[in-house]
């Protein structure tokens, strides 16, 4: 099977790592996956504008429905050549919903924006999925698009440079990050050095503008400076796990909207491959089905973050063992090979 992915692919954010995983799994399993668009020698990915009538199209919507290397005329080409039943849409941002405002985090600025987005998605396909155990809309199915790749794994756990590392851009994530850092500040000597990699943590993110809600990009430079945090610019997807591996633990922080919707992201899986200790800031119902209830509870920061973080620093081997047990489960049940088989079944259903 040949699958065309429609995705606004940026190599220093979003789901680039997962796209690479799907492409590699497809080759191994005798399929082909391409990203739709004009070719670009600067990209790590193969782009193609070739469309065959037997192809399948998977729309992966994160932050936009636009095409990075194309326009809405390309949508017309795709829709006119690929039957509706061979088109699948994966809503990774929770925008295929009515307007939601949760702790200041919104999926749409207005009812009209929400309706326009939903109508556009409906015009593309009836097969609409979200990476959550319980979608809000009845016509939406569950598909945990993000996945685990055993090839990412590293077992290097010695001479950690940092007590805590975080890799990711600040998009509605300041408040949950602040809650973690505020507790660390009281016991900085026990945790050690801290690094954060990504846009928007010590200065305004490039996308911050008058039209962007303030909750999306707020930060506190003085607070970051007071903890002497090493802040690095965004890195390519291929460097993410290497960077996370430098920390004893990595907080897994989702934007509040994703907490509300019980969404999973690429960090749901990547953090375990980095052989660091993932610490989740919110009890996500989707995690229960992915990791198991006991493991989810143990790796949850919980109501006393200060106590949990100190326990992690004192009992690192205990938590690494739990993380490795989860890693085995992810390898067997949530790999890109498994996900691709699920996706092909969806296409053929």
110 — pLDDT class (breaks 50, 70, 90): very high
Axis-axis angle for helices 305-314, 316-333 (nearest 10): 90
In whole angstroms, give the CA distance from residue 272 to residue 203.
Answer: 29
Q: For position 174, what pLDDT does the model report?
A: 95
In the predicted model, is pLDDT for residue 70 greater than 80?
Answer: no
Mean predicted confidence (pLDDT) in 46-57: 91
Give bridge partners of residue 280 from the DSSP assignment.
252, 300
pLDDT average, residue stretch 49-58: 93
Q: How confident is the model at residue 45 (pLDDT cuts 50, 70, 90)?
A: confident
pLDDT in tens, 252-302: 999 999 999 999 999 999 999 999 999 999 999 999 999 998 999 999 998
Max Cα distance, the chain (Å)? 62
Query: pLDDT confidence of 93, banded at 50, 70, 90?
Result: very high
Q: Do domains 2-146+335-348 and 150-333 have the same CATH topology?
A: yes
150-333 under CATH 3.40.50.1010, yes or no: no
**Dist. CA 146–CA 166, nearest whole Å:** 19
**60: DSSP letter:** E
Mean of pLDDT over the chain: 93
Q: For the structural domain made of 2-146+335-348, what CATH number should be given?
A: 3.40.50
| Distance between CA atoms of residues 256 and 111, nearest Å | 20
Non-local (6+) Cβ contacts of 333 within 8 A are none
Report the alpha-carbon distance of residue 185 to residue 176 in Å, rounded.
Answer: 15
CA 144 to centroid of chain Cα atoms: 11
Residue 156's pLDDT is 72
Task: Express each pLDDT in 1-19 by its tens digit.
Answer: 999 999 988 877 788 899 9
Q: Residue 5: how many CB atoms within 10 A of its CB?
A: 22
Q: Give me the residue spans of the domains in the chain.
A: 2-146+335-348, 150-333
CA distance linking residue 85 with residue 249, whole number of Å: 44
**Per-residue model confidence (pLDDT) at position 73:** 77
Mean pLDDT over 74-89 rounds to 93
Each residue of 113-164: pLDDT tens digit? 999 999 999 999 999 999 999 999 999 999 999 999 999 998 877 689 999 9
Cβ neighbors of 346 (< 8 A, separation 6 or more) are 88, 127, 129, 141, 143
Residue 2: both structure tokens together? 């040949």
| Closest listed residue to residue 75, CA positions, set 41, 116, 113, 125 | 125
Question: Which two three-digit tokens encode residue 33?
Answer: 């996956």
């Amino acid at each position: 099977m040949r699958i065309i992915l429609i995705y606004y692919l940026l190599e220093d954010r979003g789901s680039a790592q997962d796209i690479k995983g799907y492409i590699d799994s497809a080759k191994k399993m005798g399929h082909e996956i391409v990203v739709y668009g004009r070719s670009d020698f600067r990209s790590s990915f193969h782009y193609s504008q070739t469309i065959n009538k037997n192809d399948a199209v998977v729309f992966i919507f994160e932050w936009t429905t636009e095409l990075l290397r194309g326009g809405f005329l390309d949508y017309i080409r795709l829709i006119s050549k690929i039957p509706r039943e061979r088109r699948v849409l994966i809503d990774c941002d929770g925008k295929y919903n009515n307007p939601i405002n949760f702790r200041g985090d919104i999926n749409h600025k207005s009812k009209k924006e929400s309706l326009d987005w939903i109508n556009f998605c409906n015009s593309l396909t009836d097969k609409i999925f979200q990476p959550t155990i319980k979608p809000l809309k009845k016509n939406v199915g569950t598909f945990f698009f993000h996945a685990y790749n055993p090839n990412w794994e590293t077992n290097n756990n010695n001479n950690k440079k940092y007590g805590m590392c975080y890799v990711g851009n600040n998009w509605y994530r300041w408040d949950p990050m602040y809650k973690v850092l505020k507790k660390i500040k009281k016991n900085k000597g026990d945790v050690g050095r801290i690094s954060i990699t990504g846009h928007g943590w010590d200065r305004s993110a490039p996308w911050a503008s008058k039209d962007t809600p303030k909750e999306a990009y707020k930060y506190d430079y003085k607070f970051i400076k007071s903890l002497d945090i090493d802040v690095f610019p965004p890195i390519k997807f291929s460097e993410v796990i290497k960077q996370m591996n430098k920390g004893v633990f990595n907080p897994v922080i989702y934007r509040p909207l994703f907490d509300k919707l019980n969404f999973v992201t690429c960090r749901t899986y990547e953090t375990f491959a980095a052989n660091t200790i993932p610490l989740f800031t919110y009890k996500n119902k989707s995690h229960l089905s992915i990791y198991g209830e006991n493991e989810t509870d143990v790796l949850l920061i919980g109501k006393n973050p200060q106590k949990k973080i100190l326990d992690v620093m004192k009992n690192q081997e205990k938590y690494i063992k739990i993380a490795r047990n989860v890693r085995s489960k992810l390898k067997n049940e949530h790999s890109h090979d498994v996900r691709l088989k699920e996706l092909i079944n969806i296409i053929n259903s």
